[in-house]
Amino acid sequence: MMALSVRNTHPRWRVDARWLRRITLAALAELSEPVAVSGVELAVVLVGERRMAALNERHLKHTGATDVITFDYAGSGPAGECVLRGDIVICPDVARRQAREFGTTWQAEVVRYVVHGLLHLTGHDDLEPAARRVMKRAENRIVRRLAAQFAFNRLGRTSNVHM
């Protein structure tokens, strides 16, 4: 069972959801522990800054918008097998700011957030320093592999942004 939806609900940014879906499928294939699950039910949703701030405050008790929030609805499939089930919510506004800070593009940041969310859904955590280093190494490896396969800039251009 494979159900993957990619939706852009951002009020101003145009993003090629089909291209992001292809990148997300490739990212799933790049996971070091190939998702040994009986199925995938995943939604990647791009939201505006106000929506992200509301989600961040309601679910994580943090003030303001953040880059990515992962909701894990893991469950069991046939014979107790795991189903990768969740939502990865991404804020392109934050991606744009962080891209400037890290010297990259907002498109590359969005891809990084997808990978980050997938790693959370497969059991990685970034709360403790040692676990954060392991997760960051896996994230960097997967993003590098995806960058070799995909032109991230096809996700959209900043000229598409109507601020």
Per-residue confidence band for 36, with pLDDT thresholds at 50, 70 and 90: low
**What is the percent of the chain with per-residue pLDDT over 90, rounded to a whole number?**
71
Looking at the domain assignment, is residue 26 inside a domain? yes
Give 86-102 pLDDT, tens digit per residue: 999 999 999 999 999 99
Looking at the domain assignment, is residue 159 inside a domain? no
* Whether pLDDT at 54 is above 60: yes
What's the CATH code of the domain at 77? 3.40.390.30
Domain count, the chain: 1
Looking at the domain assignment, is residue 162 inside a domain? no
Rounded average pLDDT over 135-159: 90
Looking at the domain assignment, is residue 71 inside a domain? yes
Which residues, including other chains, have CB under 8 Å from residue 12's CB and lie 6 or more apart? Answer: 48, 161, 162, 163
* Whether pLDDT at 162 is above 90: no
Looking at the domain assignment, is residue 115 inside a domain? yes
Rounded average pLDDT over 51-71: 95
* Whether pLDDT at 40 is above 90: no
Which residues, including other chains, have CB under 8 Å from residue 128's CB and lie 6 or more apart? Answer: none
Determine the structural domain holding residue 105 and report its residue range: 2-154
Q: Is the pTM of this model over 0.75?
A: yes
Looking at the domain assignment, is residue 61 inside a domain? yes
Q: For all residues of the chain together, what is the average pLDDT?
A: 88
Better pLDDT: 40 or 148: 148
Q: What is the pLDDT of residue 160?
A: 42
Looking at the domain assignment, is residue 51 inside a domain? yes
Looking at the domain assignment, is residue 43 inside a domain? yes
Q: What is the pLDDT of residue 32?
A: 58
Describe the chain by its helix, strand, coil percentages, rounded to 5.
Answer: 50, 20, 30
Rounded average pLDDT over 113-139: 94
The two three-digit tokens of residue 97, written as one number:
């700011």
